[in-house]
Amino acid sequence: MKIANIVCSAGKTGFFFDDQKAIKAGAVADGAAYLGEPQTPGFSSVRQAGESISVMFILEDGQIAYGDCAAVQYSGAGGRDPLFLAGDFIPVIMKEIAPLYIGKEISTFREMASIADRRVNSATGKALHTAIRYGVTQACLDAVAKAGKTIMAKVIAKEYGLELADKPIPIFSQSGDDRYTNTDKMILKGSHVLPHGLFNNVPEKVGLDGEKLAEYVTWLKNRIIRLRPQAGYSPVMHLDVYGTLGIAFNNDLEKIADYLKVLEENAKPFSIRVEGPVDMGEGQAQIEALAALRKLVESKSVNVEIVADEWCNTYEDVAAFTDRKAGHMAQIKTPDLGGINNTIEAVLYCKKNGMGAYLGGTCNETNRSAEICAHIAMATSPDQILAKPGMGVDEGFMIVFNEMNRILALKAVV
């Protein structure tokens, strides 16, 4: 079966683009907006509406396979590609991608995905924006599944020699700034991992000595115990702090490790993970810091898992963090890896080499990219998958949960 045509449409994502540099520098929240001047190139304001592009492959039998191009909330930060605006990049897709696929016979996912993922922009000589490669390779996976009259998870399992999971992958829900009411929603719905928390500001959210975050962990423990929907419900606490512990403790890893012990004690009897405790400003320094911090917490018998995020962007980054044991778990931030073929490989590399695999992404994705990530999860069995898009909890949890259960129901009949 061939691809007869390609059509693109501009879309909105489930959240916003936020200028992380400006927020860390003290941009003040004003309702749903932020006051202050943007500091990252491409931003017209500190917070602006997230944008996406649907890439639709029209197959010669009339079926439509599609994926959504999307970029992370904090575009342009931590070594990532710049702001992704639909008006800027639809012409790039039609010029650089469409001619490669229109008229092409659908083959394997890995071969189809490699075409876009390895494409060099003829105007810049650089790889295409990660968001473009992300969405186009989703469409490739869907096209191969539709041509073979099967589901996307089975295509992945077959091509990579895997077995589909026999139960849903644990779901990690994120709260945004509404880390109280939204956490209640997570507990009531039985989220396996929670609440993310968006602790991206030291004085307002973490505390100059970490006291506000520590108080929140105590509140969270008590809330889980009070509201848990069934006996035995024991979610993992997973807190994303965006490097703010490094700011609060002047990147003194010894002090950070001791502080993590406080969080561990406040969280008991629940397990706890801390994502992005420091941000060292570049990749190699980040690897060294997280590797050293992991050694410190283990030597001090601190039972807190360190999760790598900032500067762990590409497949190569995930492998490098894994090889150096820079943390206990790596977030595989799906849009940052470009083609979803890289996401698949990254999950498998982590699992093979003793690193926790967090199939993540961003609140700033779409329902379509979230559904396709559910297929990746059911085929590769990471330790957890992010509920996305958005920060409202209910919608993202529903999308990922329902798609994984559809896969379970269909795997024996298609």
Strand partners, 120: 127
Angstrom distance (rounded) from CA 400 to CA 384: 11
The conformation of residue 125, written as its DSSP 8-state character, comes to: S
Name the nearest CA neighbour of 404 among 369, 379, 65, 412. Answer: 379
Q: Which class for 406: exposed (0-12), middle (13-18), buried (19 or more C-beta within 10 A)?
A: middle
Which of 333, 351, 352, 411 is an active site residue? 333
DSSP states along 327-391: SSEEEE-GGGGSSHHHHHHHHHHHHHTT-EEEE---TTS-HHHHHHHHHHHHHH--SEEE--SSS
Q: Enumerate residues 6+ apart whose C-beta is below 8 A from 24.
A: 200, 201, 242, 243, 247
Angstrom distance (rounded) from CA 193 to CA 45: 32
Strand partners, 329: 307, 356
Tell me how far the alpha carbon of residue 214 is from its chain's centroid: 25
- Per the CB < 8 A criterion, the answer to whether 9 and 186 are in contact is no
- Per the CB < 8 A criterion, the answer to whether 363 and 150 are in contact is no
Angstrom distance (rounded) from CA 19 to CA 227: 35
- Considering Cα of 184, then 407, then 372, then 376, what sign does the dihedral take? positive
State the DSSP H helix or E strand holding residue 59, giving kind and residue range, or none if neither: strand 47-59
Does 212 qualify as catalytic in the annotation? no
Which of the residues are catalytic?
A: 333
